[in-house]
Structure 1
């Protein structure tokens, strides 16, 4: 049987974790997480790491496996994930991958894009711009230099913005022009299964998840991480806003409202990213699991 990776994608808070576990149990296999926010062991509540019950329901990999103090990027994840898949495919014909980080999904499925080398001083200047003028200035600059990638990137992630801008400025070409259309050679086939819902439903689920995170102690978690707020791993929605509160710049109520707003924006861009793949099997978030499994089984048989 052809080795197959089933990649579960969709917006944050839509139910990807629950679906991936049901698929893993059905196919008696294991799960690889490609949610870059869930890699770090010090970050629990703000990244919606699967619960202990969920982690025990099926074997998981790449959940809280590195520290916020480690240097870990998408290139390292690609190498680690492919090595893990090679090992898992020795035991299983099917492996599940789940996560809403589109760049990390593509790194595993298609391989990373190749970009030109640019002057390192550009990044230094962009970091200084971020410190002086704020993230909005970077967002506006990217909108002008590369409106295509502007619609895809997580605008609240300053490191993604700076990476794109340094390529735009250093090469004189849009960052998106270097995103390849062809995939790297892989020893497995991929089936993408996507969950979708009306925007109002997604936004409501996000708002309720943030409220639940706060009730479960997200603020206390942020207080522990606050001394390390400049680390790359902590430049993420849910922590950055609470750091503003802890620094005395925002009220707690406003910080929570900003978490909700920025998470909703992130979900919108996740949708833009994942809808690029016309081969994705899309299902309503409330679709019966048996219907999803039946369609996946049909695809597997046809292969």
Structure 2
């Protein structure tokens, strides 16, 4: 029997977790999380990880399996996820993959792209420019050299911006031109489901989710990891803004509005990334599960 991955993608707050649990329950299988922040056990609130009840209902992998102190790359995730999928496929032909981190989803389904070697001097220079002048200048350069990367990567993450720019400077070519060159051969087939909604509704759901995180204790969670704020694992929406509040740079109300604004921007980039995959079957977030199952069973 053929092996399958049912991959669920879409912007933050759209309902991917709920759909993944319904599908995993129907197919009596397990879930692989491809969310690059839900790995970390210290930050469950701000990463909107599945609840304890959801994790008890269905076996989840790659949720709270790492510490923010661990060094963990997308390459590490690709290797471990493929090993996990291979193990599950020994007793179930279907595995559900869910997450909003496009690069991590791509790593599982297609493998990572090969990039040319970059001189350490270029990286050092970019890091010096970032520390001296901030990220705005680097963002402006990236927009000029690679508009596609500018629209799809996390612009508020200096590691991602510097990584893209170092490729541009080293090769004279756009970082995005090295993406999606050659897919790795996988021993499974993929059925990709995308969830979508009107932009105004997506933004409304994001705003509600942020308010819920605050009510659940996000500020205390961020306070508990304040001494580690320089780590890349914490260089993400929801943490950077509260770090600024805790250090007295802004009010809590302003920080909350910044989280909402930056989450909306992140959602826009997610949609741009996932829309590039033409094989994705898109559904409105309110589509009955029966309709989605009918399509999946047809593909199977």
| TM above 0.5 | yes
TM-score (norm 2): 0.98
Q: Hey, what's the Cα distance between the residues in 1 that align with 2:197 and 2:182?
A: 30
**2:278 counterpart residue number:** 278
Q: Report the counterpart of residue 71 of structure 1 in structure 2.
A: 71
Q: Mapping of 1:138-217 within 5 angstroms?
A: 138-217=138-217
Comparing 94-103 with 160-169, greater Cα deviation is found at 160-169
Q: How does 1:79-98 map to 2 (within 5 A)?
A: 79-98=79-98
Q: Report the 3-state secondary structure (helix = DSSP H, G, I; strand = E; otherwise coil) of the residue aligned with 1:14.
A: coil
Indicate the RMSD between aligned Cα atoms, in angstroms.
0.9
TM-score (norm 1): 0.97
Displacement after TM superposition at 1:147 (Å): 0.8
- Give the match for residue 46 of structure 1: 46
Shift of the alpha carbon at 1:254? Answer: 1.1
Equivalent position SS for 2:210: helix
The alignment partner of 1:23 has SS state of helix
C-alpha distance in 1, partners of 2:3/2:127?
43
Structure 1 residues 262-293: Cα deviation after superposition (integer angstroms, max 9, x where no partner): 10000001000001111111111011011111
Q: Please, which runs of 5 or more residues in structure 1 have no aligned partner? A: none
User: Unpaired segments of 5 or more residues in structure 2?
Assistant: none
Deviation at 1:172, TM superposition (A): 1.6
Structure 1 residue matching 2:282: 3-state secondary structure: strand
* Alpha-carbon shift at residue 108 of structure 1 (Å): 0.5
| CA drift at 1:249 | 1.4
- Write the distance in 1 (CA, Å) between the matches of 2:169 and 2:33: 33
Between the aligned partners of 1:25 and 1:195, the Cα distance in structure 2 is 19
Shift in Å at residue 10 of structure 1? 0.3
**Displacement, 1:181?**
3.5
Mapped partners of 2:10, 2:137: distance in 1: 29
> Offset of 1:132 from its aligned partner?
2.3
1:36 and 2:51 are equivalent in the alignment = no
Aligned to 1:263: 263
